[in-house]
């Protein structure tokens, strides 16, 4: 890119936006106004939308968006307004009605999804078995799940964990 070039709005997929955002100060220096990014994605999963917004994206669109929606998004973002496609907006709105997992609960849920038993989780995180069980009860309550398998499936359906919903396996606890 030419050093004198200026970009107001960048449209890219999530990995490229994350990479570009991390390198932006080196590209623009401290005095240039940073461009605003729009993520164009095939996924409207809560995890991906949140990741984009937390990384500083101003817009989020699905690949299936119409050219009119893309144009509206670019113009809105260029004016400094945030823009989410309808599906991403619903995901974020729905997520506000859910109880959020703590960082530790999320970490334990990821280990459960990988197939780790409670004893192994306790060893990996250097916590007691009772603490693991307590966190799992919290996960079940917040996700309104009655089992480890159901908790993982709910988390995948909501986009909190990678992988397709419905493929969680039950492991020993």
Q: Which residue has the higher pLDDT, 59 or 33?
A: 59
Buried b (16+ CB within 10 A) or exposed e, 127-164: eeeeebeebbebbbebbebeebbebbbbbbebbbbeee
Rounded to two decimals, the pTM is 0.65
The lowest-confidence range among 2-11, 19-28, 53-62, 127-136 is 19-28
Give per-residue pLDDT as tens, 99-122: 888 889 999 999 999 999 999 999
**Residue-level pLDDT at 68:** 96
pLDDT band at 170 (very low <50, low <70, confident <90, very high): very low
13 within 8 A of 42, measured Cβ to Cβ:
no
d(CA 116, CA 19): 31
Chain mean pLDDT for the chain: 84
* pLDDT tens track for 37-57: 999 999 888 888 988 998 889
Q: What is the pLDDT of residue 18?
A: 83
Q: Which residue bears the tokens 């020993």?
A: 172
Average pLDDT on 81-99 reads: 88
Closest alpha carbon to 91 in 61, 135, 123, 125: 61
> Which residue's entry shows tokens 């250097």?
126
Nearest residue to 50 (alpha-carbon basis) of 10, 105, 94: 94
* CA atoms of 8 and 61, how far apart (whole Å): 17
Residue range 128-160, pLDDT digits in tens: 999 999 999 999 999 999 999 999 999 888 878
**Reduced to 3 DSSP states, what percent helix, strand and coil does the chain have, rounded to the nearest 5?**
55, 10, 35
Q: Are 58 and 36 in contact (CB under 8 A)?
A: yes
């Amino acid at each position: 890119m030419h050093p004198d070039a200026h970009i107001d709005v960048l449209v890219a997929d999530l990995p490229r936006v994350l990479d570009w955002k991390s390198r932006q100060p080196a590209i623009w220096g401290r005095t240039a106004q940073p461009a605003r990014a729009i993520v164009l994605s095939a996924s409207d999963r809560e995890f991906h939308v949140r990741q984009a917004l937390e990384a500083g994206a101003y817009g989020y669109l699905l690949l299936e968006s119409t050219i009119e929606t893309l144009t509206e998004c670019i113009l809105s973002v260029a004016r400094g307004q945030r823009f989410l496609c309808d599906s991403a907006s619903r995901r974020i709105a729905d997520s506000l009605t859910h109880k959020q997992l703590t960082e530790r609960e999320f970490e334990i849920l990821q280990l459960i999804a990988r197939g780790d038993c409670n004893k192994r989780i306790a060893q990996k995180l250097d916590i007691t078995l009772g603490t693991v069980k307590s966190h799992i009860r919290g996960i079940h309550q917040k996700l309104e799940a009655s089992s480890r398998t159901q908790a993982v499936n709910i988390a995948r359906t909501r986009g909190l964990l990678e992988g397709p919903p419905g493929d969680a396996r039950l492991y020993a606890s």
